[in-house]
Chains A and B, each alone.
Chain A
Amino acid sequence: MAGNRRMVLNKPMNRRDFMKLSATTAAVLGLSTAVVPDLCQAFAKKEKPAVIWLHFQECTGCTESLLRSTEPDVADLILNIISLEYHETLFAASGHQIEDNLVRAMERYRNKYVLVVEGSIPTKAGGNYCTISGQTAASILKKTATNAAAIIAIGSCAAWGGIPSAGPNPTGAQGVLTTLNAMQIEKPVINVPGCPPNPHNFLSTVVHYLMYGVPTLDSQNRPKFAYGTLIHDQCERRAHFDSGRFANAFGDEGHRKGYCLYKLGCKGPSTYGNCPEQGFNAEKRWPVSIGHPCFGCIEKGVGFTKPLFEVSDMVTTATPPQVYPRPVEPGNKKISPLATGIAGAVLGSVVTAVATKTISLKNSEDDTHEDD
């Protein structure tokens, strides 16, 4: 909340918060604390990098979740680290005033600004399903992307289409990368998918871009530091999967005991992301940790495409067998009477030896005293 108040009052950040922000960012990026001074320096730059933020076919969920993130507070990002030039949700201005600002910012920061796109771009009916100030989403994108230094597509909608592209996709919605490819605009595009994506992943991507340039990306242009590993491989319930302990229905014994949600349709085995590690809502919580299967919102062809409770494909792990070996056979070999006998004999002889020695010590002690 402190961040929000600061956002309203536009007070500068204090040193403590500033260091905290730098350190947390380094942690999210998986960098060592040695880079914190570098980050501080980058954050403290006089001229803040300009950001233009576009909204197309979306629910503003990405912006909302970003605004509610804490530690690091994204309001700090917007007010202290970057210079936000255009953002429909956050700007007090509206109408011609804000559109003028967009044009001015594009001129002023030509080939220097970072373009953030939230929402998918409709292609059917000439793109008329999404128009802002009389222009279609595609034409706004074309105009802004041509002069951008880099483009970050935030959320699944911008990354690959998301909800608007779900079948039968009436608007012909598609992601930023596909649209730009069709327009033959070649700019670095970083996808940060998720519905919404973890704000930390977005922030870290921005900071990484500002400091070291475009982060290492995977085949779908997602930063590898956040989307490099299968959710299944980092899941806190993985041990249950490996041992064949599954929840078979919501509310059954296995579900209440926190077993693996694979059979309830968890898409963790086919979705890449760091949700188990990062968590959401400053609580390190994510769907699986509160008992709901992952539905693969990050992954194209999984989220909003596969039925919610359909069993996931296995990307790297083998499909689990129907039957698991139960611990009856190997665990409970019969206790052999001879073994108990030996154990008892050993214990008995140790006790006897200790007792004998103690008694003999006591006797010799008494003898010495008698001698005195």
Chain B
Amino acid sequence: MAHVNAKPLGGKILTPSVILMLFVAGAGIYFLFVRYIYGIGAVSNLSNYMPWGIWKVINVIVGAALVCGGYACAFTVYLFNQGHYHRYVRPALLISLLGYSFAGFSLFYDVGRYWGLFNFLIPKYWQGNSVLFEVGLCVMTYIGVLSLEIAPAIIEKFSHVEGRLRVVLDKLYAFLDRFLFLIISLGILLPTMHQSGLGGLAVVMGQKISPLWQSPLISLHHLISCMAMGYGCVIVTEMLVSHDYKETQHMEILSQLAKVMFMIMFVFLVLRMSEVLRSGAMALAFKGNLDSISFWTEMLLMVGGLWCVRNDQVRMKPNNIFLGSCLIMAAGSLYRLNVYIIGFHPVPGVTYFPSVPELSISLGMVCLQLIFFIMIIKTFPIIAKERR
């Protein structure tokens, strides 16, 4: 990592958009207090039949998939030895770290008896056959791994520090540099495990999930789509925070990333459609109900995203890969929303729509995450600067 020329972006932190997000985050935190004082029932529309609402699905499942940039990048850069993508690793890792930390934090307000969550750190209470346990343990370990992966950036920030702390930091830096390959291999293994584990959760839900989404391959669907979403997230972040993309050389690298995203999403689309056709669930897509509308929206987003990045010529235009990445991220997110909320029918007649406090908490947490991200890229060396 040492050979990436990353610098803090600098500049004012409290821009108007950050202030707006602070207000939204404030509303979320207010309702979070209400939730802790009066309980989940007071703020949410969750029930015994729909225990997983938007907190779990948007903040944890969709959130963890969207921030798979760190996973996708580590995969490309280290597993396929594509060093020229190196400049994206740090921002992607930062997004992943923030995303996963907030996903982990979300559990504390989403789980009713959150004080029991700590039991899961005690080996004697482990239940090795539980899918949820596997996902939880992987996510928790991965947060630790991500912090180690991002640590060099934090240490670089304190390069001016002198004295004994310097020695410690240097040692830590050298240690990380030396064993980074181990940490990175964990950083590839763990997301592979828990992203497919999330699909495993869908498998154990069995017939509660509409056949349009339920499939024996659902773990694979989750894994593949999260990688495409991760690439999408890296591209979008890069285009939003960096102004270097106008350079042709940089555009070429981004378009190659878009190509990988295209291929992965294409595989996902083929697997998805072949499963729907194979299982005979296609008829459900023409019923005209919410399920079928949502199914076609998902498909449209996916095909639209793929269309935007269909060939090298198209991929050289920044507007195309930006829109394509956004659509693919939206498609992957809607896919998860469909699996866990829209296509989830535990008992006939149960409907769910989040309440205002529930939405506020979800939005507030997303805003808080973005604020943290902006603060960190402005103060720590995350974004690479090209030498002109």
A residues less than 8 Å from B50 (CB atoms): 331
In the complex, whether A2 has a CB less than 8 A from a CB of chain B is: no
| Contact A339–B359 (Cβ < 8 Å) | yes
Q: Mark A330-352, 1 if CB is under 8 A from B, else 0.
A: 11110110111011001000000
| Contact A339–B319 (Cβ < 8 Å) | no
**A302 and B186 alpha carbons, distance in the complex (Å):** 55
In the complex, whether B363 has a CB less than 8 A from a CB of chain A is: yes
**A328 and B352 alpha carbons, distance in the complex (Å):** 12
Check A368/B356 contact, CB under 8 A, given A331-B49, A354-B326, A358-B319: no
Of the A-B pairs whose beta carbons lie under 8 Å apart in the complex, a sample of 29, sorted by A's number, is: A243-B347, A327-B49, A327-B350, A328-B349, A330-B48, A330-B49, A331-B49, A331-B50, A331-B352, A336-B355, A336-B356, A338-B356, A339-B353, A339-B354, A339-B355, A339-B358, A339-B359, A340-B353, A342-B359, A342-B363, A346-B359, A354-B326, A358-B322, A358-B326, A361-B239, A361-B318, A362-B317, A365-B317, A368-B246
| Contact surface of B with A, Cβ cutoff 8 Å | 45, 47-50, 239-240, 246, 317-319, 322-323, 326, 346-347, 349-356, 358-360, 363
Q: Which of B319, B322, B354 contacts A343 (CB 8 A)?
A: B354
| Contact B319–A333 (Cβ < 8 Å) | no
Using a Cβ–Cβ cut-off of 8 Å, how many residues does chain A contribute to the interface with B?
Answer: 24
| Contact surface of A with B, Cβ cutoff 8 Å | 243, 327-328, 330-333, 335-336, 338-340, 342-343, 346, 354, 357-359, 361-362, 364-365, 368
Additional A-B contact list (13), CB under 8 Å, known A327-B49, A331-B47, A331-B50:
A327-B47, A330-B47, A331-B48, A331-B347, A331-B351, A332-B349, A335-B351, A336-B356, A343-B354, A346-B363, A354-B322, A357-B239, A358-B319
- Least distance between A11 CB and chain B CB atoms (Å): 39
- Least distance between A240 CB and chain B CB atoms (Å): 11
- Least distance between B369 CB and chain A CB atoms (Å): 15
B residues less than 8 Å from A361 (CB atoms): 239, 317-319, 322
**A36 and B356 alpha carbons, distance in the complex (Å):** 59
| Contact A327–B319 (Cβ < 8 Å) | no
**A346 and B323 alpha carbons, distance in the complex (Å):** 18
Q: Which of A330, A333, A357, A365 contacts B240 (CB 8 A)?
A: A357
- Least distance between A57 CB and chain B CB atoms (Å): 43
- Least distance between B246 CB and chain A CB atoms (Å): 7
Top 4 A-B residue pairs of the complex, sorted by shortest distance between their CB atoms: A330-B47, A361-B319, A362-B319, A331-B350
